[in-house]
Amino acid sequence: MAVAVRTLQEQLEKAKESLKNVDENIRKLTGRDPNDPIQARLLALSGPGGGRGRGSLLLR
């Protein structure tokens, strides 16, 4: 049982490190922090249509 828990913890740490690398790549490519709550709020306002429609006028 302890071996299984240790294995799962190691896999979790590897997954976290992988996601950290993804965040760093996004930051390098876009120049923005993907975890910034302001950016997330702006993306949510634009809606699922990729910013199409009346809601996109609020952001410009």
pTM over 0.85? The answer is no
The structure tokens 């410009």 sit at 60
Domain that holds residue 24: 2-59
Tens digit of pLDDT per residue, the chain (60 long)?
899 999 999 999 999 988 888 888 988 998 888 778 776 666 665 555 555 555 555 554
Residue 6 tokens read as: 């240790």
What type of residue sits at position 4?
A: A
- Which is nearest to 45 in space by CA: 31, 29, 57? 57
Q: Which residues contact 26 (CB under 8 A, 6 or more apart)?
A: 32, 34
Total domain count for the chain? 1
